[in-house]
Amino acid sequence: MRTPNIVPVAVTAAAGLLLPLGSRAIDTMPWLLTDFCGHLPSGSLLPAAFSVPASPATPTLPCAPAPTGYHRLPQVSGNGDLSVDLAVGADPSGSALCFVYNGVPEAPVIRIQRGHKLTIRLTNTLHDTGPYNTQNCLLQTFVNGGACDEPEQGFRSEPGADDSFYPIQTNVPHLADGTTNLHVHGMIVSPRPCHDEVIISTIYPVNWGGPTGRLLPCQAAPDELTYTYDIPADHPEGLYWYHTHRHGQTEAATMLGLVGAIVVEGPDDARRTAMGVGDDVLVIHDVPFTAPAGTPSDSPPTGGMVKAQHRSASNRAARLPGADPRVDVENEIGCAPDAPDTGGPEITHLTLNGAAVPEQPDGTFPPDASVLTKTMQPGQTEIWRIVNASADTAISPRLAMVQDGVTTIQPLEVLARDGVPVADDQGFPFMQTIDTTSKPALLMPANRLEILVHAPAAGATLYLDSNQIRTGCSGFAAPARRLLRVISGGPPVTPVADSALAPTDRDAYWTNILNQTPAVQRVFAFTEYLRGFTAAHSNWDGPAPPPEDVDAAVPDFFLTQIASSADPALQPVIAPFNMFSLRPDVVVHLNGADSVTEEWTVQNYTLENHAFHMHQVHFRDISSGSRDPQNSPLLDTVNVAPAADVNGVPSTPGQVTLMMNFTRAQIGEFVFHCHILAHEDAGMMQKIRVVAE
Q: Rounded to the nearest 5°, which phi and psi values hold at 270?
A: -65, -40
Provide CB contacts within 8 A for 202, sequence distance 6+. Answer: 179, 180, 181, 212, 213, 225, 246
The Cα 237–Cα 624 span in angstroms is 26
Provide CB contacts within 8 A for 362, sequence distance 6+. Answer: none
Q: pLDDT value at position 565?
A: 97
Residue 543: inside a domain, yes or no?
Answer: yes
Q: What residues in the chain have per-residue pLDDT under 50?
A: 1-56, 131-153, 296-319
Residues 486 and 546 grouped into a single domain: no
Residues 623 and 530 grouped into a single domain: yes
Residue 100: inside a domain, yes or no?
Answer: yes
Residues 435 and 535 grouped into a single domain: no
Q: pLDDT value at position 322?
A: 64
Q: Rounded to the nearest 5°, which phi and psi values hold at 123?
A: -120, 140
* CATH code where residue 376 lies: 2.60.40.420
Q: pLDDT value at position 513?
A: 95
CA-wise closest residue to 660 among 449, 450, 508, 519: 519
For residue 537, the enclosing domain spans 520-691
Question: SS3 of 334, please?
Answer: coil
Residue 16: inside a domain, yes or no?
Answer: no
The Cα 560–Cα 539 span in angstroms is 19
Give this prediction's pTM.
Answer: 0.89
Q: pLDDT value at position 181?
A: 96
The Cα 408–Cα 401 span in angstroms is 5
Residue 9: inside a domain, yes or no?
Answer: no
The Cα 605–Cα 607 span in angstroms is 7
CA-wise closest residue to 353 among 242, 257, 252: 257
Residue 5: inside a domain, yes or no?
Answer: no
CA-wise closest residue to 453 among 372, 374, 353, 541: 374
Q: pLDDT value at position 457?
A: 95
Residues 549 and 453 grouped into a single domain: no
Residue 306: inside a domain, yes or no?
Answer: no
Residues 495 and 372 grouped into a single domain: yes
Residues 188 and 247 grouped into a single domain: yes
Single out the residue in 235, 265, 295 at which a domain terminates: 265
Provide CB contacts within 8 A for 573, sequence distance 6+. Answer: 159, 166, 167, 168, 169, 560
Q: pLDDT value at position 352?
A: 98
Percent of the chain with pLDDT over 70: 82
Question: SS3 of 623, please?
Answer: coil
Q: pLDDT value at position 29?
A: 25
Residues 490 and 554 grouped into a single domain: no
Burial 109-121 (b: 16+ CB within 10 A, else e): bbbbbbebebebb
Residues 99 and 229 grouped into a single domain: yes
Residue 507: inside a domain, yes or no?
Answer: no
Query: For the chain, what is the domain count?
Result: 3
Residues 484 and 544 grouped into a single domain: no
Residues 472 and 562 grouped into a single domain: no
Per DSSP, what are the bridge partners of residue 352? 284, 355
Residue 434: inside a domain, yes or no?
Answer: yes
Assign residue 512 a region (left: φ > 0; alpha: ψ between -120 and 50; beta: otherwise). Answer: left
Assign residue 68 a region (left: φ > 0; alpha: ψ between -120 and 50; beta: otherwise). Answer: alpha
Q: pLDDT value at position 25?
A: 23
